[in-house]
Amino acid sequence: MNEKHMQSLFGNYLKKNPPNCSEVYELKYTKGTSIPFANIKEHQAKALLDAEENSLYHKISDPPVFYGMNTRFNAKRPFDCFCLVNVKSFVVVWFYTPRQRKLFIKIGIKTFLKLKENSDRKSFTEKMAIDASTKVINISEK
């Protein structure tokens, strides 16, 4: 299990259960009992806040193409860029434990930043995340 697997599970969940309005997410994963607040980088928190409070423009990078490279493995980009305005923004965390239920904990960015600011700790636990969460999603593989 890794963050790539989390991305796949979360993406499949969203395809089957789309939100009723646009949302953006920063996904974080751990096999431990806590996640350092610093794992959500300053530029990521800023981008989530900008998308929620103001606007966020982002150009989607084109993948590099080299001579003789097989491009069939490059995902096609849906478009060149986007601008998000007043979009709900979340940090989604997963405290992975083998052979246990998969709980994806969705925390609003403003709530997450308050949790970080008011904590005496340098990291947050699953219980802290659940207490601060907007939603806890139980994802089961089928």
pLDDT tens per residue across span 72-129: 666 777 889 999 999 999 999 999 998 888 999 999 999 999 999 999 999 999 999 9
Could you report the per-residue pLDDT of 45-71, keeping only the tens digit for each? Answer: 999 999 999 999 999 887 766 666 666
Give the DSSP letter of residue 39.
G
pTM, two decimal places? 0.88
Q: What is the C-alpha to C-alpha distance for residues 33 and 21, in angstroms, rounded to an integer?
A: 32
SS (H, E, C) 112-132: HHHHHHHCCCCEEEHHHHHHH
Q: What is the C-alpha to C-alpha distance for residues 96 and 100, in angstroms, rounded to an integer?
A: 8
Q: What is the C-alpha to C-alpha distance for residues 21 and 7, in angstroms, rounded to an integer?
A: 20
